[in-house]
Amino acid sequence: MKVFWRVLVVLSIGLGATACMEKETVPQEGIFVVWKTPVMKYADQGFLYHEKEKLRLEIYASGQPVMQLTVTPTQVCTSGLCMSKEQFNLRYLSPDYPKDTLEKILNGEPVFGGEGMERKREGFTQRVKKAGRYEIEYSVLNGSIVFRDTINQILIKIQKRG
């Protein structure tokens, strides 16, 4: 019986200590998102969460989540369906894109290794072309991210709020 009480005391102390610890907050940004591809179309408010090893994009309509994307170092999950980054590009973007394209866009970083990049005081712009494959205009300026590929009919626009 003494062992039971000792275990109970240790568990109580442990649970009490963890309850007092600060919870790690996940940095988030309120955003307005336009996501238009031949397969997916959304335009509404959302949140972009920057977690340790992943990014999470949530888009809401009428206060209800309508799309959730999670990007990890190895895969992309869309509302529960996970696939490699290459599979995601093949299905939702373009198989000709580097596998880290979506992650770079969500982070507001240069794509395609910085090809065609022009630095601006407020950020940068990029123009990247490959005949018949993609024609990309990409800008990260003043808290606004706009990725447009006219050949593949893709528009991803993220406007940070606040």
Output the pLDDT for position 79.
80
Q: Is 35 exposed, middle or buried (0-12, 13-18, 19+ CB in 10 A)?
A: buried
Higher pLDDT, 76 or 22: 76
pLDDT tens digits for range 60-75? 988 888 899 999 999 9
Q: Report the phi/psi class of residue 62: left, alpha or beta, with left for phi > 0 and alpha for psi in -120 to 50.
A: left
The predicted model scores a pTM of 0.81
pLDDT tens digits for range 103-116? 999 999 999 999 99
Nearest-CA neighbor of 38 among 138, 112, 149?
A: 149
Residue 116, SS3? coil
Fold entry, domain 24-160: outer membrane lipoprotein receptor (LolB), chain A (2.50.20)
Domain ranges, ordered by start, for the chain: 24-160
pLDDT tens digits for range 138-155? 999 998 999 999 999 999
